[in-house]
Amino acid sequence: MTLLREISPEELEMSIEAHRRWLMQKDNNNKLNLSGTNLGKTFLFEANLSEADLEEAYLAGANLGWAQLKNANLKKADLSGADLFSANLKGALLQEADLSHAFLIGAQMQGAQMQNARFHDASLTHADLRGANLSGASGLTREQVSSTSVDNETILPDYLQKHVS
């Protein structure tokens, strides 16, 4: 088990503000790196975390509703039980992430890389999975996928390939 880095609310707020400035100019070293950080149950509603490094971060139960996570690195992140209502996860890296019991209703996940991610009991109604790669994902059901938007570019786990049109 990896030890998680702790961060104070003040430090988190300052880091997100520095990241916001980096996203506007991209000419300094303030790209947000919260990899391996304990952010469980943190309120990050509408936060702009686009392109942030959150690899192996603990975000279980976090409120990320309407958050901007476009092209963020969330590999191996624990997002179990997280609220990602209408979050923008376009192009995000979510390989091996735990999205079990996550609330992903209306999430924009076009082009997201979610190989081997876990989706047990996740709420995916109206999520947009067009162009997403879900190969090797576990816990996805036909019912979950049928409530989402998929296209010919969406790669589903082998056990669902033949069941979704």
- Which of 10-19, 22-31, 54-63, 131-140 comes out lowest in average pLDDT? 22-31
pLDDT greater than 80 at residue 151: yes
pLDDT greater than 80 at residue 165: no
> Average pLDDT for residues 52-62, to the nearest whole number?
98
Name 48's bridge partners: 68
Q: What are phi and psi of 91, to 5 degrees?
A: 70, 10
Among 122, 54, 57, 35, CA closest to 92: 54
Q: Domains in the chain and their CATH numbers?
A: 32-165 (2.160.20.80)
Q: What's the whole-model pTM score? A: 0.94
CA 147, CA 114: separation in Å to the nearest integer? Answer: 18
- Which of 16-30, 43-57, 69-83, 105-119 comes out lowest in average pLDDT? 16-30
Cα torsion 160, 144, 47, 63: sign:
negative
Q: How confident is the model at residue 162 (pLDDT cuts 50, 70, 90)?
A: low
> Average pLDDT for residues 3-8, to the nearest whole number?
92
Burial of 38: CB neighbours in 10 Å, binned 0-12, 13-18, 19+: middle
Quick one: tokens of 90? 């376009």
Write down the mean pLDDT value for the chain. Answer: 95
Percent of the chain beyond pLDDT 90?
A: 90
Quick one: tokens of 137? 């994902």
